[in-house]
Structure formats: C-alpha cells, structure tokens
C-alpha cells in the first residue's frame, strides 16, 4: 500500500516543479522518517533552496502564512478539494537567546545546513524523489510499500540503509534502524537553543518505541529545569500529543525518568511513592496506578480523556493519611478538582476542555454509588457532557487496580439501555405555565422547575397537569 496518494503525489509534483525551475528540492523531516518506518505520514514537507518569494511566484495557489520564517503552503487541487504541502526554504537558524525562537532566520543554499538545524537525527533525513523514481515523477509507480515497512524500488525491495534516494547527513538512517532518538550535534546546545525539543525527544521515543540516546537523555536531565521558559501552550500541546498517540505510558515514564515531569507537572510527579491500601490497590502506589491507566489510553483518544486519566487521582498525594485502620485519602476528589482546575488554567485550556477534565476528576468515584442512586440522580449523571469518557475512565481506573468491573458494567448497561428521551425528557412545564398559574417570575422558578424535573425523572409524574399540582402543593401561593 502506498502513502495517501493525494498528498504524496502533490509533494512529488511540487518537488518536480521546483527542480524544473532550477532549484534543489527534497521531501524532508517527519515524512521521510515515517516513510522509512513504513508509517503513513500525516503530512509531507518539502525543503528547497528556492526562497519564499520564488515559491510564491512559481505556484498559482499559495498561502504565505509563515513566509517570514521561510515557509509557504502550496495548494494542489481546485476549489472542490485540495491538499496543501509545506514548502520550507533551506535555512540555518541563528542564535536562540530566549530558549524558544531563533533570533533570526538565515536562508542558505545548503541542504546540509538545513538538516543540521533540525532537532533529531531521525527527523533530519531527506528523500530525493527523482532517485526514487528514475522515470520522472510517474505517480503511478508507487515507490513505497508501507505495509511491509520498507522501501521498494520498482519491484525489488532494497535495504533501507544506503538507498540512493535517501540523503543522510546526520546518521539518521542508522538511528532509525537501531531505534534511537539522538539530538543532531551537541545535545546540550540544541536543548539550550530550544527547550521544547526535550519534550519532543521524549514524545518521539515513546511514539516509536525508541530509546533516548544516552547523551541526549543526560542532556535532558541536566536541562529539564529550563522548560519553565517554554510557553505553557506549547508544553500542553506536546503533553496532549503524548497522551493521545497510544504510547502515553511510555511517554510519562520517560518524562519521569528524565526529570521533565517534575518541572512541567510537579503535582503528577508527587504521585510517585505515595502508598495506597493494598486491598484496593494491589498494583502499588498512586504513580504506578496512574501509569496503569495511561497504558490503556488508545491512539486517537480525546485530549480530555487523556488528561482526565492523568489527573484523576492528583488529589491523593496531598490528602495521604495513615489512619488507624488503613491508608486514607479523605477529600481527595475535592482537592483533586481544585488542583485539576488550576493545572488547566496554567496550561490555558479552553473553558470547555477544563470543564470536561475537571468533571472527570470530580465524578470518578461515583460509579460505586450508582446502584444506590435515585433514578433522577442517575439520569443527571448520564447527562454529563461526554458521558462515554466517564465510562472509559472508570473502566481504566478499575482495570489498573482491583480489576473488578462490576460497577462499570452496571452503569454501562443502564446507560446503554436508556434512550435519550428518558435521560433528557422534554420539560413538562416552563416558566410560562408558572406565570399563567399565578406565580411571580423570580428566583424561585428555578427551584420549582427543578422539583418538577426531579419528579419527572423519578417517573412519579408525567403530564403538565400533574406538574402544576406538584408545584401548588410544594410551593403554595400566598393568600
């Protein structure tokens, strides 16, 4: 099977046109790495010696969003549908005095210089598509067999190492083969330049099941404290990717081992070594338990579920107490809710995402009570936005601990059996009917309508007349 042909073909055409105009051009970065690993790249990047002005002039449909730092988006297709390819001019980034952005961008004609400003050797490879396709850019002869995870050249498999189409100035092919994430150049310098790279390194190691090269890991350990200078949004986005790429457990183990976790999420780092009562948590301490949930997060899961899993027990370390009978964490949910809200604020989550994440923390202990809930309480529980995430979190929570899925099954069965109109029935009456019945609009309406809804959800009333009778009984009109 070939990488998604539309995007791949578009990138190849762009490379061809740049070359026809006399410039150097290659596929570069993450897409090359993914192709060599037999993974389908999310997108394709082209690196070229042409300046942004030239690129803007050569192609008819372009977006110059990042032209000031050398990136032009080139669209391939028509109004009906098109794909975009990032075309980046070879550059060598100048000094980074703030640990975040290069002070200036300098274009270069040297592909080698461009590769050397990139972060990791596995991200520093180029493909020369013309060597791949000796008969020109014949898009029908698909060169990659990603199902088999190896480069195919015409009909014969070729070893990945030494493939004539792959240009490797940094030893990236060897590191890909060996499964190593290694900084290009001196790791410390590279992380001093841009501190976010430390998190990226962990993310790539986790995603591909690679090891961090020793010197690279040592540099991260030394410089982990610098991540405080990175914008919280960028840190958040890296952590979210780690949580949702299907290898969250490994990612967080590496964050912990390298000392990054204590810098970016000290509240989570504190979970390590916090003992739990063995009868409920045979698996071990709060950190081990949390890793047990992260290990169950699937690739493509929602960001809020990922963060909810990470933070569901964040209130445990500060509430740990050795009571006479056993270890207790009284109030850990309430404390966790406050901490979760603070973490979400710090990482600039939207109000909606914050609401979801905090609700996951807040409700994660309620499943055990579901069997004793009144019908109205249970239905309101089901009305939580994204209730499936609550179900998913509880399941992971049980499986990472006692393994007892009784409560989960009980709730899931009821949830699945209950149609939407039963969970969220149309209101029997509204404020209008209350006014017509002689009530003065005001704060009391909310309480009255809530009492009506309770009874409706309990199934004790079912009509507007019954609803008004209930209101008159419980909230008698004066006089």
Asked if 247 interacts with ligand ATP (CB under 6 A), we say no
d(CA 5, CA 219): 39
Q: Residue 130 Cβ, how far from Mg ion at the closest point, in Å?
A: 23
Number of H helices and E strands in the chain, helices first, is: 25, 16
Q: Which residues pair with 45 in a beta bridge?
A: 28, 86
Strands 150-153 and 144-145: antiparallel
CB of 326 closer than 8 Å to CB of 277: yes
Q: Residue 245 Cβ, how far from ligand ATP at the closest point, in Å?
A: 8
Residue 385: Cβ within 10 Å count? 11
Asked if 30 interacts with Mg ion (CB under 5 A), we say yes
Q: Residue 411 Cβ, how far from Mg ion at the closest point, in Å?
A: 39
* Phi, psi (deg, nearest 5) at residue 300: 85, 5
Q: Which is nearer to Mg ion, 242 or 396 (CB)?
A: 242
Strands 25-28 and 125-127: antiparallel
Q: Which residues pair with 327 in a beta bridge?
A: 322
Q: Name the one residue in this structure whose structure tokens are 């100035």.
A: 169
Q: Which is nearer to ligand ATP, 123 or 363 (CB)?
A: 123
CB of 228 closer than 8 Å to CB of 193: no
124-143 residues in contact with ligand ATP (CB under 6 A) are: 124
Strands 156-157 and 150-153: antiparallel
Candidates 62, 84, 89, 123: give the one binding ligand ATP (CB under 6 A).
123
Quote the radius of gyration of the chain (alpha carbons, Å): 29
Residue 369, C-beta contacts closer than 8 angstroms, at least 6 positions apart:
none
Q: Residue 318 Cβ, how far from ligand ATP at the closest point, in Å?
A: 34
Binding string, residues 36-55; x marks residues near ligand ATP by CB under 6 A = ------x--x----------
Q: Residue 62 Cβ, how far from Mg ion at the closest point, in Å?
A: 19
Asked if 30 interacts with ligand ATP (CB under 6 A), we say yes
Q: Which is nearer to ligand ATP, 188 or 433 (CB)?
A: 188
Sign of CA dihedral 247, 250, 251, 252: positive
d(CA 458, CA 440): 27
How many angstroms separate the Cα of 293 from the Cα of each of 107, 228, 310, 371, 419? 46, 27, 8, 24, 30
CB of 95 closer than 8 Å to CB of 102: yes
Asked if 326 interacts with ligand ATP (CB under 6 A), we say no
Asked if 194 interacts with ligand ATP (CB under 6 A), we say yes
Size of the site for ligand ATP (CB under 6 A): 11
Asked if 238 interacts with ligand ATP (CB under 6 A), we say no
Q: Which is nearer to ligand ATP, 42 or 469 (CB)?
A: 42
If contact means CB under 5 to 8 A according to the sort of partner, which of Mg ion, ligand ATP, none does residue 119 touch? ligand ATP
Q: Which is nearer to Mg ion, 184 or 370 (CB)?
A: 184
Binding string, residues 287-306; x marks residues near ligand ATP by CB under 6 A = --------------------
Asked if 14 interacts with ligand ATP (CB under 6 A), we say no
Q: Residue 44 Cβ, how far from Mg ion at the closest point, in Å?
A: 9
Candidates 118, 195, 356, 394: give the one binding ligand ATP (CB under 6 A).
118
Asked if 168 interacts with ligand ATP (CB under 6 A), we say no
Residue 299: Cβ within 10 Å count? 10
Q: Which is nearer to ligand ATP, 194 or 362 (CB)?
A: 194
Structure tokens given for 466: 């019954």
Spatial CA neighbour of 454 closest among 428, 421, 418: 428
d(CA 29, CA 48): 12
Q: Residue 340 Cβ, how far from Mg ion at the closest point, in Å?
A: 30
Structure tokens given for 213: 């090269």
If contact means CB under 5 to 8 A according to the sort of partner, which of ligand ATP, Mg ion, none does residue 238 touch? none
Q: Which is nearer to ligand ATP, 9 or 86 (CB)?
A: 86
Q: Residue 341 Cβ, how far from ligand ATP at the closest point, in Å?
A: 29
Stretch near ligand ATP under the rule CB under 6 A, chosen from 117-125, 278-286, 293-301, 406-414: 117-125
Asked if 197 interacts with ligand ATP (CB under 6 A), we say yes
Asked if 146 interacts with ligand ATP (CB under 6 A), we say no
Q: Residue 18 Cβ, how far from Mg ion at the closest point, in Å?
A: 20
Contact set with ligand ATP (CB under 6 A)? 29-30, 42, 45, 118-119, 123-124, 194, 196-197
């Amino acid at each position: 099977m070939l990488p998604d042909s539309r995007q791949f073909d578009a990138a190849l055409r762009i490379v061809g046109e740049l070359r026809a105009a006399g410039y150097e051009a290659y596929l570069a970065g993450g897409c090359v790495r993914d192709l060599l690993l037999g993974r389908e790249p999310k997108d394709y990047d082209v690196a070229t010696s042409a300046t942004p002005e030239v690129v803007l002039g050569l192609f008819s449909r372009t977006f110059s969003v990042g032209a000031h730092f050398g990136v032009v988006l080139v669209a391939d297709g028509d109004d009906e549908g098109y794909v975009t390819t990032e075309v980046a001019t070879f550059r060598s980034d100048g000094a980074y005095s703030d640990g975040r952005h290069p002070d200036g961008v300098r274009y270069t004609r040297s592909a080698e210089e461009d590769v050397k400003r990139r972060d990791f050797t596995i991200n520093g490879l180029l493909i020369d598509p013309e060597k791949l396709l000796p008969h020109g850019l014949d898009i029908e002869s698909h060169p990659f067999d990603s199902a088999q995870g190896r480069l195919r050249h015409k009909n014969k498999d070729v070893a990945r190492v030494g493939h004539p189409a792959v240009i490797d100035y940094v030893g990236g092919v060897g590191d890909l083969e060996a499964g190593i994430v290694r900084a290009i150049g001196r790791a410390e310098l590279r992380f001093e330049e841009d501190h976010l790279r430390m998190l990226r390194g962990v993310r790539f190691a986790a995603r591909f099941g690679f090891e961090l090269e020793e010197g690279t890991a040592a540099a991260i350990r030394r410089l982990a404290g610098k991540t405080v200078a990175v914008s919280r949004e960028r840190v958040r986005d890296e952590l979210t990717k780690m949580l949702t790429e299907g290898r969250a457990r490994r990612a967080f183990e590496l964050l912990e081992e390298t000392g990054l976790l204590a810098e970016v999420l000290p509240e989570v780092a504190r979970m390590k070594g916090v003992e739990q009562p063995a009868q409920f948590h045979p698996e071990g301490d709060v950190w081990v338990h949390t890793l047990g949930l992260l290990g169950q997060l699937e690739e493509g899961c929602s960001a809020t579920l990922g963060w909810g899993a990470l933070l569901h027990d964040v209130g445990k370390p500060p509430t740990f107490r050795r009571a006479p009978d056993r270890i207790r964490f009284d109030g850990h949910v309430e404390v966790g809710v406050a901490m979760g809200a603070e973490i979400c604020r710090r990482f600039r989550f939207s109000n909606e995402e914050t609401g979801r994440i905090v609700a996951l923390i807040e409700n994660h202990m309620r499943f055990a009570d579901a069997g004793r809930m009144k019908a109205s309480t249970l239905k309101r529980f089901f009305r939580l936005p994204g209730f499936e995430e609550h179900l998913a979190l509880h399941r992971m929570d049980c499986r990472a601990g006692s393994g007892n899925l009784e409560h989960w099954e009980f709730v899931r069965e009821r949830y699945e059996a209950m149609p939407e109109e039963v969970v969220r029935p149309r209101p029997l009456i509204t404020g209008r009917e209350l006014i017509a019945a002689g009530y003065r609009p005001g704060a009391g309406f909310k309480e009255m309508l809530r009492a009506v809804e309770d009874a409706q959800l309990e199934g004790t009333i079912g009509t507007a007349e019954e609803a008004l009778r209930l209101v008159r009984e419980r909230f008698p009109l004066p006089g």
